[in-house]
Amino acid sequence: MKFLPQDQLEAFLAHLAESAIVVAPQRDQDGVLFFQPWEAGAEVEFEQLLTRQSPKDYVFRQTETYLKFGYQMKGKAAAEEEEVGGKKSKDEPAAEEAPPAEGEEPAHEVLQVETVEDAPEQVIFGLRPCDARGYYQMDQVFGGYGGFYYDPYYMAKREATTLVALTCAQPWSTCFCTAVYGSPSGTDGVDLLLTGIEGGFTAEALTERGENLLGFGGFADVGTGQADAAQTVKDEAFAAIDPPFEIEGVPQGLRDNFEDPAWHDLQMRCISCGTCTYVCPNCYCFNITDEMVEKSGERVRTWDNCFNPGYTLETSGHNPREQKFARFRNRFSHKFWYYPEKYDSLLCSGCGRCIRYCPTKIDLREVIRTLGRPHAAEAAPAEDSEAAGVHAQTGEDL
């Protein structure tokens, strides 16, 4: 453990910025706190606990171009310039149709591989442990776990990213990381953990990457009592969060309550806007679309929203989650039941942004309290469903 005096903070940021893009919480022109690339002299804000959005976008882009393509006429352009990858058209035998008019062969696409310059070395600085854990949890989808594909676009950026997290001293009322196996000083995914104490920050390296950061000359050895002070900050923050539900049994509870009428009550005011999915540090669903102007275009993937009625709509018109309650149920079940079953990790790190920014005040904690309780194996099931019904109406804590 090392100590970073407050007056060395800017020098540390500048040091990091010499070899990487540094992304840190900064207010935009409207005063809203976001993760943004840091430049010398810019003011970094650590007072407000959470940024409006998690820094998810810096690894899993909201909009990401991964293919570029263009249609060029064969024959014409070939004489003037060498076309990329265009060799394939020549040696192919013509189909058994009448040959096209001289020099007027049909257009074909030339496929170009997008350069990889958008995976630069970057340090995400001052993110909270829940946001770091968001990457850690998402990594399972994109990292080839369980025999699945290794996502080259996500992983190229992920592996070029260093996470410098900051312990939360004063959690918000919407924080519930401790209910989902996390902590205000959690270290999942974290390379270097800073904890604010009198006069600066303690710094603990969790990985080799983190260890390397401690090479900066502004770090001092921890003084007497500083390690204890940091531990006190951590302990007090942990104690400040009252876990709103008991996570054990939630997957089974969601399974047991799959047909529970409370789903219909709780989803009633949802407007399918998808704000919860956009502010979530874990939500990873995406769509793939082509954008084209005249003869050239791009293939992009963009964050998607599982609340969108078109999300599961098939071309035939069949839609397995046509009703809103089914989409609503899917999101919570995915985070607390489906995903853990598949990847051995929850898909929620307890940041509470979905609660804070939902325009209709839907509260994940209430949903999980109401529908995440397993039916007792021995007890009469009638008792449980009755209880669930009551809580759906009152929204009270159990």
Partner 1 sequence: MNVQTAAEFILDSPFLPRSAEIIRKDRLNDTETLYQLRLMDGSELGHLPGQFVELSVYGVGEAPFSISSSPTRGRTFELCIRRVGDVTGGLERLGLGDQVGIRGPLGRGFPVETMRGKKALLIAGGLGIVPLRSLIVNILDEREDFGDVTILYGSKSPDDLLFRDELTQWEAREDVDFRMTTDIAGPKWKGNVGPVTTLFRRIEVDSRNTVPVMVGPPVMFRHVVKQVLACGIPEDRIIMSLERRMKCGIGECGHCQINGVYVCQEGPVFTYAELKRMEEAML
For partner 1, the binding residues (CB under 8 A) are: 66-67, 69, 71, 88, 92, 94-95, 97, 105-109, 111, 113-114, 116, 119, 141-142, 148-153, 155-156, 159-160, 258, 284-290, 292, 297, 299, 301, 304, 306, 311-316, 318, 320-321, 326, 333-334, 337-339, 341-342
Buried-state track 313-334, b at ≥16 Cβ within 10 A, e below 16: eeeeeeeebeebbebbbbbbbb
Residue 75: left if φ>0, alpha if ψ -120 to 50, beta else—which one?
left
Parallel, antiparallel, or unpaired for β 108-113 and 63-72?
antiparallel
In the complex, least distance from residue 155 CB atom to partner 1, rounded to whole angstroms: 6
What minimum distance in Å lies between the beta carbon of 19 and partner 1? 16
What strands lie across the sheet with 63-72, from one edge to the other? Answer: 108-113, 63-72, 296-303, 286-293
Closer residue to partner 1, CB minimum distance, 52 or 264: 264
Q: Cβ(108)–Cβ(74) under 8 Å? A: yes
The two three-digit tokens of residue 66, written as one number: 């991964």
Nearer to partner 1, 107 or 390 (CB): 107
Distance in Å, CB of 72 to partner 1, minimum = 12
What distance in Å separates the CA atoms of residue 307 and residue 314, rounded to the nearest whole number? 15
Residue length, the chain?
398
The first and second tokens of residue 166, run together, are 């900051």
Our CB check for partner 1 shows the closer of 46 and 66 to be: 66
Nearest-approach distance from CB 397 to partner 1, in angstroms: 28
Tell me whether residue 173 or residue 287 sits nearer to partner 1 (CB atom). 287
CA angle 277, 250, 50 (to 5 degrees): 40
Q: Read off the tokens for 264.
A: 């219909």
| Nearer Cβ to partner 1 (334/373) | 334
Return the DSSP state at 315. Answer: T
Tell me how far apart the alpha carbons of residues 396 and 78 are, in angstroms, rounded to a whole number.
72
Residue with Cβ nearer partner 1 (5 or 297)? 297
CB 168 within 8 A of CB 182: no
Q: How far is CA 133 from CA 136, 185, 187, 209, 249, in A?
A: 5, 11, 8, 17, 22
Residue where the block lists tokens 């531990």? 231
CB 111 within 8 A of CB 85: yes
In terms of CB distance, is 230 or 266 closer to partner 1? 266
Name residue 299's amino acid. Answer: R
Beta carbon of residue 259, minimum distance to partner 1 (angstroms, whole number): 9
Output the smallest distance, CB 145 to partner 1, in A.
10
- 131-143-124 Cα angle (round to 5): 30
Nearer of residues 217 and 320 to partner 1, judged by Cβ: 320
φ, ψ at 164 (rounded to 5°): -105, 105
78 vs 313 by CB, closer to partner 1: 313
Nearer to partner 1, 10 or 304 (CB): 304
**189 Rama class: left (phi>0) / alpha (psi -120 to 50) / beta:** left
For the bound state, the minimum distance from the C-beta of residue 31 to partner 1, rounded and expressed in Å, comes to: 34
Q: How near is the Cβ of 243 to partner 1 at its closest, in Å?
A: 25
| Distance of closest approach, residue 151 Cβ to partner 1, in angstroms | 6
Distance CA 281, CA 290 (A): 26
To the nearest whole angstrom, how small is the minimum distance from the Cβ of residue 14 to partner 1?
Answer: 25
Nearer to partner 1, 91 or 378 (CB): 91
For the CB of residue 159, give the shortest distance to partner 1 in the complex, in Å: 6
